[in-house]
Amino acid sequence: MKNISIKSYHPAGFMLRYQKLIHDEMIPYQYHVLKDEIKGVEKSGAIENFINAAKALKGEEHGDFYGMVFQDSDVAKWIEAASYSIAVFHDREIEEKIDEVVDIVAAAQDSDGYLDTRFTVLQNDRRWQNLLEAHELYCAGHMMEAACAYYEATGKRKLLDVMLKNAEHIYNHFISEKAEGYPGHPEVELALMKLYYLTGNKHCLELAKHFIDCRGEDPHYYEKEIKNRNWYIWGNNPSNYEYQQSDMPLRKLSDAKGHAVRAAYLYSGMKDVANETDDKELSDACRRLWESITQKRMYITGGIGSTCHGEAFSADYDLPSDTVYAETCASIALMMFAQRMLKDDINGEYADVMETAFYNTVLAGIQTDGKEFFYVNPLEAVPGISEVAQTQRHIRLTRFGWHACACCPPNAARLISSIGKYAYGENDDTVFCNLYAAGEVSFDNGMKVICSTEYPYSGNIKYSVTGSGNLSVRIPGWSRKYEISKNGAGIKAAFEKGYVTVKVNDGDEISLTLDISPRYVYASEKVPALSGKAAVCAGPLVYCFEGVDNKGDVLSLYIDTEKSPSLNGYDPSLLGGTRTMTVPGFRREAQTALYSDKAPEMAKTELFGIPYSLWANRGRNQMRVWIPVK
Amino acid sequence: MKNISIKSYHPAGFMLRYQKLIHDEMIPYQYHVLKDEIKGVEKSGAIENFINAAKALKGEEHGDFYGMVFQDSDVAKWIEAASYSIAVFHDREIEEKIDEVVDIVAAAQDSDGYLDTRFTVLQNDRRWQNLLEAHELYCAGHMMEAACAYYEATGKRKLLDVMLKNAEHIYNHFISEKAEGYPGHPEVELALMKLYYLTGNKHCLELAKHFIDCRGEDPHYYEKEIKNRNWYIWGNNPSNYEYQQSDMPLRKLSDAKGHAVRAAYLYSGMKDVANETDDKELSDACRRLWESITQKRMYITGGIGSTCHGEAFSADYDLPSDTVYAETCASIALMMFAQRMLKDDINGEYADVMETAFYNTVLAGIQTDGKEFFYVNPLEAVPGISEVAQTQRHIRLTRFGWHACACCPPNAARLISSIGKYAYGENDDTVFCNLYAAGEVSFDNGMKVICSTEYPYSGNIKYSVTGSGNLSVRIPGWSRKYEISKNGAGIKAAFEKGYVTVKVNDGDEISLTLDISPRYVYASEKVPALSGKAAVCAGPLVYCFEGVDNKGDVLSLYIDTEKSPSLNGYDPSLLGGTRTMTVPGFRREAQTALYSDKAPEMAKTELFGIPYSLWANRGRNQMRVWIPVK
């Protein structure tokens, strides 16, 4: 794909439901949270920080900085999500709110281009001294992404100009003035690349490449930084090289390591730079990291970062269901990485992972009412142990409301609102359908596609084409068979690396049938936590089993994999509309002793599953994805 | 049982092998370690600390205190273990070494009875100010236990008098002068009770009862203490009430909580005081705690303390095999608790747990050569994940040599050297055979028993009796059947709460046959980590499966519980002599993909097991106790 920015995507079906949830619930709500206008919600201070920074710049009396060091990024993510959303829903009221926020942000920029409210309000003399902890480049990156989205949605250059000036300021500091160092929390790399793609500004490309090239060249940079500054925010350990992705030059990386969100943002930026500069060595490193993640360190749900210690990748095959971290943001970052891999190499495996992460972990992050959120996404939860045991204190049985470190909710909002950019792509006269996102898509090459489907609850997908060229549609790895027809007649289409490509002319209707019949999935024997277990999937959806559907006890359940599971009909009244799963199996009798030499009696039963992303919407419950096989 | 101190036990068979290992290897080795006479071993400084303290008392120039705050207890545990050992082996050379060490210890006692080298050397003005961290009462307790053992073995009163004077000093401080507070690390309670049992000194009983009575009455004691002192050792959190067993008065406890070693020492002291003072309320609390441990929070191996966070008890049924702590010392402490429960109530369940903890976790703590030790006892270990994953950094694949915090090795030494006190008991004219410890036992009631057996590798046990009375022999909960005969003729003996009692006369020979045929064991469905799995046991031994016996890969193995496992013949050349186990089962084919919808092919195979206590004697290996059932 030449261009990951399709012209527009107007959703229907499943995607519409989620984009509406973001538009109707999350974006207005988050706006008021950021402005501290909702009673009973933890103070954000994020908008106020920008107002105070503007006052500080003018030498006026002003309030204190409030919140986390990366508080600015909450505003940026909101602008970005809201911009994507108005591109779809054309909501004037929200656009006015964005305009208002953009004005507030712009006023907080210093005359030299610097923009970070924490330092402008609190410690203007300490800029760029603490890359390890201070998140200045991270916040800048998110605001760059916001600027691109706002411009694309509205054509308004105000924030784009602010952030180009900010990028130039950063360029001067790190390139012209040769300041040492690289971002503590990577993100600005991919953001600079977005700015570059949109504006062609070469300094943005050069700066992104610089941060990629110098990272880890001197693994001890952060230690030197600490010696020079002698002040701290949290007191992060500068020698935690793997955690902070500074243990070696990025081109040498093979294993996905450290903080999972930071890692996947970084790998996304690496791949952008590699794609743009034809850097094969860097591209090869990205491929090794991709394989490390997807072949050895990823949950079946597309969750990554299996340990809460540092919210980080763990060792190969260490994928516990219960002490897991699998942050929502990490799966969003994984989708970003997948999107960039796909851009360079049309290959179904990238889109497969993108889809798995989306339909399972990313959507699990959001309550069906759009008001509560998971940061951590376990594959097993047991009241009495989850939340309570020291190793599972971070596991929650119900979602949080908005809270101080609100990284995941606005991140999910921006991802879902821009899902069209992941679902579709184009290249000269070809359009790529990566995900099966119902709705209307316009491409820069002049083609248009209307996708009609009840996917993921149906395997039938229809594309009505305007214009002529090639329609290249992914065939998922999980679909054991597929059928494709053109204007009602079955056809054989060229299949290459997970995509079938069909020549299309104006008015053609291409129908694709995928096999979403339920399947049992088994983990490699190398995953100790999953020995003897199976999961149940249907299409891209991983199913889970909750107590509320299974007599309050899923720990006693076994699956009978000799018999087939069956997908029940669509129930519009359940969990906002879904299809449940019935799985043949057994329930073992209760055993009163902790240990007994009496083999447990097994009684035939049926297990009832729901899509994993919908768990924990009906109170505190046992939940399991992986069930022992009997 | 009236008296847990049988007169003497001279081991044979299995117990002799381990007691010899302690005598021949550990005691001489530890002596030289404590004196810093072994090159390449981390400095102990423990004996030197006593020498320096003596110099400090005399106002002489002296060296610094070295090591952990509880360094003195290493010397105490060595004296105790060595004393038990000379009671068996009558080794003059070791006795002289103990005499030498006792002289060194005695010289370090202040004229007022105070004895703790850290404070005497470093901070004499800070005595008794930091009960939370300073371990003064803990070290005193261990030295009291040493004093009792030394006196019992040699009749020499020197250390006993030192520690009675020390107890009186503590009595004056906490009782006469009404100083507030209770021990940060419980242990002195059970030690004071030992002193009381041996000497009848009422102040010891009163003081033990005082520490039990006041603990947790004011849960905020340690917070007040910190305010008063304003100095720290490690900066322990004084509000960690559960961890430090200060959250409520001990009589109200129901759940086993906090640091597992501290907890079980404390419960042992509680039960001693309850037994001696006929305190039913306290006894009931002990029973509730016993049930909490053994019915909900104990590993099949008798390991307790399932989380490395605080080396502590976790929630009910949270018994992970891989992130486990299960410290060797905690199982030793559990044996002590069991012994005290049994003293008050002859009931097989106490001895069953005592035996499980001994043959599995305690013995697993020791390398077959007696030179390396486990602190942590996992039930699953996987090279590449154990030691590496953040949640499993504390899991070791091979044992440690002696190191700075050397709590477990000398603790195991004193336990094994005094196993007779656990194996046997008496009450008026009855002798109790709790474990099946081969050897010769003399009782204070005048009876004598010679126990001949190859137990735990045989279920045949023969008791030759001298004197007359009752022989009360435990029938383990795991033995599905048993036969008992007297002088060759089968008899029916009264069975009550896990013990059969036979009237015996001088010269009688009682033979017992237990069923040690292998059995599969299943965990309660409430233990999430063990769903779908089974373990294999034979007699008191839990078996495990190591890579070295199973083609390097135990993660692919399944057990076929429809078929019976078989115990192989005794192999004297393997691991110091043992019986391996052959278990029918399956090996799944390797799956290259992390996740696959292809059901794994299963090939019939045999699994080879060894007793759990012997694992990790042949290098770094995969190891599993719980195997999925196919």
CATH number of the domain residue A433 falls in? 2.60.40.1180
Rounded Cα gap, residues A152 and A145, in angstroms: 11
Q: Band of the pLDDT at A403, cuts 50, 70, 90?
A: low
**Alpha-carbon distances, residue A458 vs A436, A441, A461, A480, B104 (angstroms):** 10, 20, 8, 15, 83
Tokens encoding B618: 């042949």
> Roughly what angle, to the nearest 10 degrees, separates helices B46-57 and B92-107?
40
Cβ contact, residue pair A597, B537, below 8 Å? yes
Indicate whether B436 belongs to any domain. Answer: yes
Q: Band of the pLDDT at B40, cuts 50, 70, 90?
A: confident
- pLDDT confidence of residue B6: 85
User: Which residues of chain A make contact with B292, given a CB cutoff of 8 A?
Assistant: none
- Closest Cβ opposite residue B555 in set A531, A558, A595: A531
CB proximity B236 to A under 8 Å:
no
CB proximity B444 to A under 8 Å:
no
- pLDDT confidence of residue B1: 55
Q: Band of the pLDDT at B403, cuts 50, 70, 90?
A: low
**Which of these three, A486, A514, A542, is where a domain ends?**
A514
Cβ contact, residue pair B385, A598, below 8 Å? no
Among residues B168, B187, B311, B426, the one annotated as catalytic is: B311
Rounded Cα gap, residues B492 and B345, in angstroms: 23
- Asked if residue A528 and residue A501 are part of one domain, the reply reads no
- pLDDT confidence of residue B41: 84
Percent of chain A with pLDDT over 70: 98
- Asked if residue A494 and residue A479 are part of one domain, the reply reads yes
CA distance B585 to chain A (A): 13
Give mean pLDDT, residues A336-350.
Answer: 97
CA distance B479 to chain A (A): 10
Among residues A286, A308, A407, A544, the one annotated as catalytic is: A407
- Asked if residue B624 and residue B525 are part of one domain, the reply reads yes
Rounded Cα gap, residues A353 and A289, in angstroms: 14
- Coil, strand, or helix at residue B572? coil
pLDDT exceeds 60 at position B596: yes
Do the Cβ atoms of B611 and A311 come closer than 8 Å? no
CB proximity B295 to A under 8 Å:
yes
- Asked if residue A614 and residue A546 are part of one domain, the reply reads yes
Do the Cβ atoms of B160 and B193 come closer than 8 Å? no
Cβ contact, residue pair A525, B600, below 8 Å? yes
| pLDDT tens per residue across span B453-489 | 999 999 999 999 999 999 999 999 999 999 999 999 9
User: What are the start-end ranges of the H helices in B310-449?
Assistant: 328-344, 348-356, 363-364, 408-417, 420-423
Greatest C-alpha distance within chain B: 79
Instruction: Look up residue B455 and give its amino acid.
Output: Y
Q: Which residues contact A58 (CB under 8 A, 6 or more apart)?
A: none
**Which of these three, A462, A485, A514, is where a domain ends?**
A514
User: Which residues of chain B make contact with A309, given a CB cutoff of 8 A?
Assistant: 390-391
Cβ contact, residue pair B528, A598, below 8 Å? no
- Asked if residue B585 and residue B530 are part of one domain, the reply reads yes
Q: Which residues contact B227 (CB under 8 A, 6 or more apart)?
A: none
CB proximity B176 to A under 8 Å:
no
Question: For chain B, give me the number of helices (H) and strands (E)?
Answer: 18, 23
User: Which residues of chain A make contact with B591, given a CB cutoff of 8 A?
Assistant: 522-525
CB proximity A507 to B under 8 Å:
no
- pLDDT confidence of residue A408: 81
CB proximity A25 to B under 8 Å:
no
Could you tell me which of B569, B556, B356, B589 has the C-alpha nearest to residue B476?
A: B356
User: Which residues of chain A make contact with B592, given a CB cutoff of 8 A?
Assistant: 524
- Coil, strand, or helix at residue A302? coil
- Closest Cβ opposite residue B315 in set A389, A524, A532: A389
Indicate whether B171 belongs to any domain. Answer: no
Cβ contact, residue pair A630, B532, below 8 Å? yes
- Asked if residue B537 and residue B438 are part of one domain, the reply reads no
CA distance A575 to chain B (A): 27
Which A positions 474-503 lie with beta carbon below 8 A of chain B? 478, 480
| Dihedral sign, Cα of residue B246, residue B252, residue B258, residue B262 | positive
Q: What are phi and psi of B219, to 5 degrees?
A: -60, -20
Backbone region of residue B530 per phi and psi (left: phi > 0; alpha: psi in -120 to 50; beta: other values): alpha
Indicate whether B491 belongs to any domain. Answer: yes
Cβ contact, residue pair A524, B595, below 8 Å? yes
Task: Search chain A and give the residue with CA nearest B525.
Answer: A556
Q: Which residue has the tokens 């210890």?
A: B105
Q: Which helix (H) or strand (E) holds B536?
A: strand B533-538
Give mean pLDDT, residues A175-182.
Answer: 96
Do the Cβ atoms of B337 and B369 come closer than 8 Å? no
Cβ contact, residue pair A528, B312, below 8 Å? no
CB proximity B383 to A under 8 Å:
no
CB proximity B528 to A under 8 Å:
yes
| Dihedral sign, Cα of residue B214, residue B218, residue B223, residue B228 | negative
CA distance B557 to chain A (A): 9
Do the Cβ atoms of B409 and B401 come closer than 8 Å? no
User: Which residues of chain B make contact with A322, given a CB cutoff of 8 A?
Assistant: 320, 528-529
CB proximity A595 to B under 8 Å:
yes
| pLDDT tens per residue across span B91-137 | 999 999 999 999 999 999 999 999 999 999 999 999 999 999 999 99
Do the Cβ atoms of B190 and B268 come closer than 8 Å? yes
Structural domain of B472:
424-514
- pLDDT confidence of residue B404: 55
CB proximity A111 to B under 8 Å:
no
- Asked if residue A611 and residue A523 are part of one domain, the reply reads yes
Which B positions 302-361 lie with beta carbon below 8 A of chain A? 307, 309-310, 312, 314-318, 320, 322-323
CA distance B427 to chain A (A): 31
CB neighbourhood size of A397 (10 A): 18
CB neighbourhood size of B485 (10 A): 16
User: Which residues of chain B make contact with A629, given a CB cutoff of 8 A?
Assistant: 532
CB proximity B564 to A under 8 Å:
no
B204 included as an active-site residue: no
Indicate whether A451 belongs to any domain. Answer: yes
Cβ contact, residue pair A522, B596, below 8 Å? yes
Tokens encoding B455: 């137990």
Neighbour-count burial of A126, counting CB atoms closer than 10 A to its CB (0-12 exposed, 13-18 middle, 19+ buried): middle
Rounded Cα gap, residues B296 and B291, in angstroms: 7
**Which of these three, A475, A498, A514, is where a domain ends?**
A514
Do the Cβ atoms of A368 and A14 come closer than 8 Å? no
Q: Which residues contact B51 (CB under 8 A, 6 or more apart)?
A: B62, B104, B107, B108
Rounded Cα gap, residues B266 and B247, in angstroms: 14
CB proximity A383 to B under 8 Å:
no
Counting the structural domains of chain B, the total is 2
Do the Cβ atoms of B302 and B318 come closer than 8 Å? no
The pairing of beta strand B430-433 with beta strand B469-474: parallel
Size of interface A-B (CB pairs under 8 A): 174
B407 included as an active-site residue: yes
Cis preceding-peptide flag for B540 (omega within 30 of 0): no
CB proximity B394 to A under 8 Å:
no
Rounded Cα gap, residues B186 and B194, in angstroms: 14
pLDDT exceeds 60 at position B58: yes
Q: Band of the pLDDT at B408, cuts 50, 70, 90?
A: confident
Q: Which residues contact B374 (CB under 8 A, 6 or more apart)?
A: B328, B364, B365, B366, B396, B399, B400, B408, B616
| Dihedral sign, Cα of residue A524, residue A530, residue A535, residue A539 | negative
Q: A65-71 long-range contacts, Cβ below 8 Å, gap at least 24?
A: A65/A117, A65/A118, A65/A121, A65/A122, A67/A43, A67/A404, A68/A404, A68/A405, A69/A118, A69/A133, A69/A134, A69/A135, A69/A233, A70/A135, A70/A138, A70/A139, A70/A185, A70/A407, A71/A44, A71/A45, A71/A46, A71/A117, A71/A118
- Asked if residue B478 and residue B549 are part of one domain, the reply reads no
Q: Which residue has the tokens 């540092």?
A: A310
Cβ contact, residue pair A522, B310, below 8 Å? no
Indicate whether B166 belongs to any domain. Answer: no
Give mean pLDDT, residues B293-319.
Answer: 96
- Write the DSSP symbol of residue B25: I
Could you tell me which of B165, B330, B132 has the C-alpha nearest to residue B231?
A: B132
- pLDDT confidence of residue A167: 98
| pLDDT tens per residue across span B498-511 | 999 999 999 999 99
Cα B577 to chain centroid, rounded: 23
| pLDDT tens per residue across span B219-269 | 999 999 999 998 999 999 999 999 999 999 999 999 999 999 999 999 999
CB proximity B291 to A under 8 Å:
no
User: What are the start-end ranges of the H helices in A237-279?
Assistant: 260-277
Cβ contact, residue pair A310, B590, below 8 Å? no
Do the Cβ atoms of A339 and A4 come closer than 8 Å? yes
Rounded Cα gap, residues B597 and B577, in angstroms: 45
Please state, rounded to an integer, the average pLDDT across all residues of chain B.
Answer: 96
Give mean pLDDT, residues A550-554.
Answer: 98
CB proximity B38 to A under 8 Å:
no
Cβ contact, residue pair A532, B629, below 8 Å? yes
Please state, rounded to an integer, the average pLDDT across all residues of chain A.
Answer: 96
Indicate whether A493 belongs to any domain. Answer: yes
- pLDDT confidence of residue B2: 52
Q: What are phi and psi of A366, to 5 degrees?
A: -120, 130
Rounded Cα gap, residues A536 and A591, in angstroms: 26
CA distance A84 to chain B (A): 34
Q: Which residue has the tokens 């999430």?
A: B528
Q: Band of the pLDDT at A312, cuts 50, 70, 90?
A: very high
- Asked if residue A528 and residue A496 are part of one domain, the reply reads no
- Asked if residue A525 and residue A510 are part of one domain, the reply reads no
Q: Band of the pLDDT at B437, cuts 50, 70, 90?
A: very high
CB proximity A590 to B under 8 Å:
yes
Indicate whether B620 belongs to any domain. Answer: yes
Indicate whether B443 belongs to any domain. Answer: yes
| Dihedral sign, Cα of residue B283, residue B287, residue B292, residue B293 | positive
CB neighbourhood size of B511 (10 A): 20
- Asked if residue B503 and residue B456 are part of one domain, the reply reads yes
Give mean pLDDT, residues B347-374.
Answer: 96
Greatest C-alpha distance within chain A: 79
| pLDDT tens per residue across span A221-255 | 999 999 999 899 999 999 999 999 999 999 999 99
- Write the DSSP symbol of residue A239: T
Do the Cβ atoms of B475 and B495 come closer than 8 Å? yes
Cβ contact, residue pair B533, A532, below 8 Å? yes
Among residues B148, B204, B308, B407, the one annotated as catalytic is: B407
CA distance B416 to chain A (A): 26
Name the β-bridge partners of A535. A521
pLDDT exceeds 90 at position A152: yes
- Asked if residue A509 and residue A607 are part of one domain, the reply reads no
